[in-house]
Amino acid sequence: MQTPATTPRDINPTEDGKALRIVWEDGHESVYLPFDLRMSCPCAGCVDESSGRRTLTEAMVPPNVYPTAIEYVGRYALKFVWSDRHDTGLYSFDLLRGLCGCEECNKMPAPPRRSSR
């Protein structure tokens, strides 16, 4: 279930075009660098389905990776098509809010993660 903290009000690039900016319904603003988002891909090719261990390493992703397309998936996620041709990860709005690396969010306890099984 979405809450104001996990419901995007506005999704756009930053003014300089170097990052993704999401303003949430609760008024919070999150900024995501492309490399960080790519490294956080939750798909089965980047995270072992059995153990949950991340299999994607920084050496596997070009440092200048960027999204060539961003698509909405229903009302709950974004799908990125990356310049390295990866395109299978669905980034739920819950996940994206949890990835916010701002000072305010880093002080907050992480929300409990739901099992996808």
**Is 10 domain-assigned?**
yes
**Is 113 domain-assigned?**
no
**Is 79 domain-assigned?**
yes
Side-chain-side CA neighbours of residue 116 (13 Å): 12
Total domain count for the chain? 1
For the segment 47-62, what is each residue's pLDDT rounded down to a tens digit? 999 999 999 999 999 9
For the segment 33-87, what is each residue's pLDDT rounded down to a tens digit? 999 999 999 999 999 999 999 999 999 999 999 999 999 999 999 999 999 999 9
Question: Confidence class of residue 115 from pLDDT cuts 50, 70 and 90?
Answer: very low
Query: What is the extent of the structural domain holding 63?
Result: 4-104
**Is 117 domain-assigned?**
no
Report CA torsion sign: 49, 55, 61, 66.
Answer: positive
CATH code at 18?
3.30.2020.30
In this model, does residue 88 exceed pLDDT 80? yes
